Amino acid sequence: MAELQARWHQSTAEVPAAAWDGLLQPDHLPFYRWRWLRELEASGSIVPRQGWKPCHLGLWRGDELVALAPLYLKGHSYGEFVFDQSFAQLAGQLGLRYYPKLVGMSPVSPVQGYRFLIAAGEDGVELTALMLELIDGFCQRNGILSCNFLYVDPTWRALAEAAGCATWINQQSQWSNPGHADFSDYLASFNANQRRNIKRERKAVAAAGLSVTPLEGEGIAPELVGRMHDFYAQHCARWGPWGSKYLSEAFFEALAHDRELRSHLVLFSAHHGDPADPVAMSLCVRGGDHLWGRYWGSEVEIDCLHFEVCYYAPIEWAIANGIRHFDPGAGGSHKRRRGFVAQPRSSLHRWSDPRFAAILRDWLPGANAAMAREIEAINAELPFTAAYDPPHAPVLRSEPAT
């Protein structure tokens, strides 16, 4: 392998867009494209004063970017949705400083798919191991206790485990289409009681005089994206200090006016007459055969409106548009009664302190086995017909890394 130079980039802007995106496959998640991550920084949403300091590791061969690890130094655990506060508590008991920590993910987007970005034709095993060595050295030089890769791509997980990463299994809900031709097919997968419940919930929205219209890509007026920000901000404000408002108005302005970003958007507008005059709306992101639900908000209190705008209308649109998987976002046990199946999600971890690492590596196998049982129990209670076997991924069982 020709000589490589490692560079730590303190901004996405330090890496040319063409070089960054050149490491991605055409159907790669939009959340890891240069433009998405750059606008998070440029808009003031993901910046050091918000507890996110970009710290991307690039491997260069001259002027050619060969591999890249999107990374952030974090001063807190918010916006990750993998809850490691117990790790922070353990660190305190051992007299260790847990923050800042190094995190690999697309900020505030709990979407499966993180991996090191490696150019085609390069040795992924060798470069993964090399980059992890460089990350270990960075952490040791700077007194950083932990490095954490969240929502990892299952195909990359084995490479990182082989290089010493420890795996922690959590779970998230996902809807997958086994071949439904329309929404009626989706309804038919439920038992009779839940079919009645879904029909009742949709009728409650219709009885309020509301229709829900999907708006896609270039068909979305820029001002409507601005309206989506208002709904998002209003919804977060309802939760007070727990509202988790991470994205600035400037980021939504970028979504509205950048053609590349807007091409991935699908808005679901709930309205009385004109879709451009919504009383509630949800924002989803599309990429390949996946749809991700991200944000919603409403200026009215109408029974079941959230279910319609955030679940039923997107599922109906997904079926009609050949979308195979719909991830509605983190949290919410109510998702499971509406066709979302519990799925395992892996995060990978490395720790620089031997005592801390030994305790957690000893704890992880039992924790992962308990999560496997929880996922199986959740899915055993889903309200489907006895004959329907919903698509789901196998529960990943992890042994401690050696």
Q: What is the pLDDT of residues 318-364, one digit of tens each?
A: 999 999 999 998 876 788 889 899 999 999 999 999 999 999 999 99
Element containing residue 211 per DSSP (H, E): strand 211-216
Helix-helix angle 34-42:249-257, to 10 degrees: 140
Q: How many whole angstroms from its chain centre is CA 346?
A: 12
CB under 8 Å, gap of 24 or more: what pairs does 23-26 form?
23/65, 23/67, 23/68, 23/117, 23/118, 23/119, 24/117
Element containing residue 401 per DSSP (H, E): none
* Domain around 83: 5-173+343-380
Helix, coil or strand: residue 286: strand
* pLDDT tops 50 at residue 396: no
Name the most confidently modeled range: 232-241, 293-302, 331-340.
293-302
> Is the same domain home to 198 and 297?
yes
> Is the same domain home to 62 and 201?
no
Q: Which residue has the higher pLDDT, 395 or 253?
A: 253
Residue 309 is predicted with a pLDDT of: 97
> Is the same domain home to 114 and 204?
no
Q: Where are the alpha helices (DSSP H) in 163-258?
A: 183-188, 192-207, 222-237, 249-257
Residue 297 lies in a domain: yes
Residue 157 is predicted with a pLDDT of: 97
Edge-to-edge, what's the strand order for the sheet holding 56-61?
5-9, 56-61, 64-69, 117-118
- What is this structure's pTM? 0.94
* pLDDT tops 50 at residue 402: no
Q: What is the domain-level CATH number for residue 95?
A: 3.40.630.30
Please, are residues 367 and 349 in contact by the beta-carbon 8 Å criterion? Answer: no
Q: Which residue has the higher pLDDT, 334 or 66?
A: 66
Residue 73 lies in a domain: yes
Residue in the block written with tokens 């409507």: 224
CA dist., res. 340 & res. 382, Å (int): 9
> Is the same domain home to 155 and 188?
no
Residue 394 pLDDT grade (very low, low, confident, very high; cuts 50, 70, 90): low
Both tokens assigned to 295:
């944000």
CA dist., res. 261 & res. 254, Å (int): 8
DSSP code at position 309: I
Q: What percent of the chain has pLDDT over 90?
A: 90
- Average confidence score pLDDT of the chain: 94
Please, are residues 116 and 156 in contact by the beta-carbon 8 Å criterion? Answer: yes
> Is the same domain home to 215 and 311?
yes
Residue 32 is predicted with a pLDDT of: 97
Please, are residues 296 and 269 in contact by the beta-carbon 8 Å criterion? Answer: no
* pLDDT tops 60 at residue 1: no
Element containing residue 354 per DSSP (H, E): helix 354-380
Instruction: For CA atoms 191, 305, 210, 296, give the dihedral sign.
Output: negative
> Is the same domain home to 184 and 166?
no
* pLDDT tops 90 at residue 240: no
CA dist., res. 310 & res. 335, Å (int): 10
Strand partners, 213: 269
Q: How many whole angstroms from its chain centre is CA 208?
A: 33
> Is the same domain home to 161 and 187?
no
> Is the same domain home to 143 and 203?
no
Amino acid, single-letter form, for residue 144: I
For the residues 275-296, what does the mean pLDDT come to? Answer: 96
> Is the same domain home to 141 and 21?
yes
Kind of pairing between the strands at 265-271 and 280-287:
antiparallel
Helix, coil or strand: residue 68: strand
> Is the same domain home to 151 and 79?
yes
Q: How many whole angstroms from its chain centre is CA 148?
A: 15
Residue 393 is predicted with a pLDDT of: 56
Residue 335 is predicted with a pLDDT of: 87
Q: Which residue has the higher pLDDT, 346 or 391?
A: 346
For the residues 264-273, what does the mean pLDDT come to? Answer: 97
Residue 49 is predicted with a pLDDT of: 94
Which candidate, 22, 29, 26, places its Cα nearest to that of 58? 22
> Is the same domain home to 20 and 169?
yes
Residue 399 is predicted with a pLDDT of: 37
For the chain, the straight-line distance linking the first and the last C-alpha, in angstroms and rounded, comes to: 26
How many domains, in total, are found in the chain? 2
Angle of CA points 172, 159, 157, to nearest 5°: 0
> Is the same domain home to 9 and 152?
yes
Element containing residue 118 per DSSP (H, E): strand 117-118
Residue 25 pLDDT grade (very low, low, confident, very high; cuts 50, 70, 90): confident
Residue 2 is predicted with a pLDDT of: 66
